[in-house]
Amino acid sequence: MASTVMASSSAATIHFLRRCSQNPSRAIPKSIRAQIGRDEKPPLLIRRLTTLLKPSAAAAAVAAAIAATPMPALAEQMEKAALFDFNLTLPAIALEFLLLMVALDKIYFTPLGKFMYERDAAIRAQLGDVKDTSGEVKQLEEQAAAVMKAARAEISAALNKMKKETTAELEQKLAEGKKRVEEELAEAIAALENEKEEALKALDSQIKLLGDEIVSKVLPST
Amino acid sequence: MNVIPCSIQTLKGLYDISGVEVGQHLYWQIGGLQIHAQVLITSWVVIAILLGSVIIAVRNPQTIPTDGQNFFEYVLEFIQDLSKTQIGEGYGPWVPFIGTMFLFIFVSNWSGALLPWKIIKLPHGELAAPTNDINTTVALALPTSVAYFYAGLSKKGLGYFGKYIQPTPILLPINILEDFTKPLSLSFRLFGNILADELVVVVLVSLVPSVVPIPVMFLGLFTSGIQALIFATLAAAYIGESMEGHH
């Protein structure tokens, strides 16, 4: 493991150094270039670089040894390494971004946003309708209550009327009955009076007879 | 420490495995200007993925959403929510900007981690996430600066520049400096995170080719998502900041 790490790191160093030796003016940063004279030769340059970059001594030795033998295929791959390399890519990507924004706005954000808004509105409207229906139900309930009330009032009125009528009828019948009774009573009384008078009359005539009898009995006939 | 017995071929082989090609670009010449072809190509793929999936999923919206539509509705709601939180009143017109920013960065970052770019060999450089090139991140950060200036100026007119002497004129240099640090920090944060993530994965794969890099790859996916979210959120926050009134 450790040797692998070592090897790969030293390999990287080798490539950096190789790049430097192949093409010093392009690959080496300006600051380093300033320190190295333009007409200095690669071996010295490598020595300077190894001290500048400070890899481990063993790696540097290997690097120096390998750098001496040319490897054109690899060296060709290592052209300039540019991390902060601003060029036409920047405006190109910016333009692409703006176009993508317009396109996504046209086919995604605006239509789907509108669609979702409309669906929300529709759902809300339906919910509102449901609430309105509950109001209607309330109204209907009130109507039903009113109808019931009216019906009850009607019934009670009819009942009252019937009661009154019945009472009146009954009273009339009662009155009639009373009247008849009174009439009969009066007749009976009159009949009794008559009988009484007749009886009294009969008694009167008998009284005379009896008086005469009594007188004739008390007083010796003379 | 078995370095010296290694032959040059062994070293070359190891180097090829751990070939981290930082700062290597495939150059195209367009009218005398150079362009990073690998960034351009991957960005086209990202844009194609975005537009394609959106067209397929949202072409014919249903009242009861299908799977794809449901996903994109969720994404749209997420972006609207983000814009609303950061910008507040009048966030509507900024949704496409924030949304495109988020989606482009997110798909770019994930494409770097998920798409097998390495299958396609380029003469120089290699295909990777478009966001691991500083040009891309600056190209996204500069429109953000333009956007928040536009937002402030259109909302408050020239009174927008009054914020430079708020709360006291002593802070004027710092306030001006902020306009430069904002795009700088936005672009370098994204660039650094994505590049570092890819480097970590590549180096780990070169050291231990199995199992061990997997958690780091998942971490990379997580970081990628977070970076996209951070970029979009900060862009929205800057826009909101320049639109809000100071009392």
Measured at the CA of B19, the angle between CA B15 and CA B23, to 5 degrees, comes to: 130
The ranges assigned to domains in chain B are: 65-243
Prediction pTM value: 0.64
Q: Which residue numbers in chain B have pLDDT < 70?
A: 1-23, 245-247
Q: Cα-atom radius of gyration of chain A, to the nearest Å? A: 71
Chain A: give the shortest CA distance to residue B223, in Å: 21
Classify each residue of B105-118 as buried b or exposed e, where b means 16 or more C-beta atoms within 10 Å of its C-beta: bbbbbbbbbebebe
What's the sign of the alpha-carbon dihedral B15, B16, B20, B21? Answer: positive
Q: Which residues contact B79 (CB under 8 A, 6 or more apart)?
A: B95, B98, B99, B102, B232
- Alpha-carbon distance of B102 to B53, in angstroms, equals 16
Specify the pLDDT at position A13. 46
| Cβ count within 10 A of residue A66 | 19
* Best of B2, B8, B53, B208 to mutate (most A CBs within 10 Å, chain A): B8
CB-based contact A100 B10, cutoff 8 Å: no
Chain A: give the shortest CA distance to residue B165, in Å: 31
pLDDT in tens, chain A (222 residues): 333 434 444 444 445 445 444 544 444 445 444 444 444 455 555 555 444 444 454 555 555 545 544 444 444 444 556 778 788 889 999 999 999 999 999 999 999 999 999 999 999 998 888 877 778 888 899 999 999 999 999 999 999 999 999 999 999 999 999 999 999 999 999 999 999 898 888 888 888 888 888 888 888 765
SS (H, E, C) B134-156: HHHHHHHHHHHHHHHHHHHHHHH
Specify the pLDDT at position A86. 85
| Residue carrying structure tokens 């320190």 | A35
Q: Where are the alpha helices (DSSP H) in chain A?
A: 2-22, 24-27, 30-35, 42-53, 57-68, 72-77, 89-104, 110-218
Q: Which residue among A66, A87, A113 places its CB closest to the CB of B34?
A: A87
Specify the pLDDT at position A3. 39
Q: Is A68 on the interface with B (CB under 8 A)?
A: no
Specify the pLDDT at position A26. 47
Chain A residues within an 8 Å CB radius of B199? none
ipTM of the complex: 0.86
- Alpha-carbon distance of B75 to B62, in angstroms, equals 16
Interface of A with B in 74-113 (CB under 8 A): 74, 77, 79-94, 96-98, 100-101, 103-105, 107-113
Instruction: Annotate A132-146 with DSSP letters as a single string.
Output: HHHHHHHHHHHHHHH
Burial class of residue B101 (count of CB atoms within 10 Å of its CB; 0-12, 13-18, 19+): buried
Q: Are B240 and B87 in contact (CB under 8 A)?
A: yes
- Token pair of B30 as six digits: 């367009």
Q: Which residues contact B8 (CB under 8 A, 6 or more apart)?
A: A66, A69, A71
Specify the pLDDT at position B205. 85
Classify each residue of B64-76 as buried b or exposed e, where b means 16 or more C-beta atoms within 10 Å of its C-beta: ebeeebeebbebb
Q: Are B242 and B157 in contact (CB under 8 A)?
A: no
- Alpha-carbon distance of A29 to A34, in angstroms, equals 9
The closest alpha carbon to B113, from B232, B227, B233, belongs to B227
Task: Round to the nearest angstrom and report the end-to-end CA distance of chain A.
Answer: 195
Chain A residues within an 8 Å CB radius of B63? 119
- Token pair of A197 as six digits: 């008078």
| Residue carrying structure tokens 């009252």 | A160
CB-based contact A103 B14, cutoff 8 Å: no
Which three-class secondary structure state does DSSP give residue B29? Answer: strand
User: DSSP state, B212?
Assistant: T
Counting every residue written for chain B, the total comes to: 247
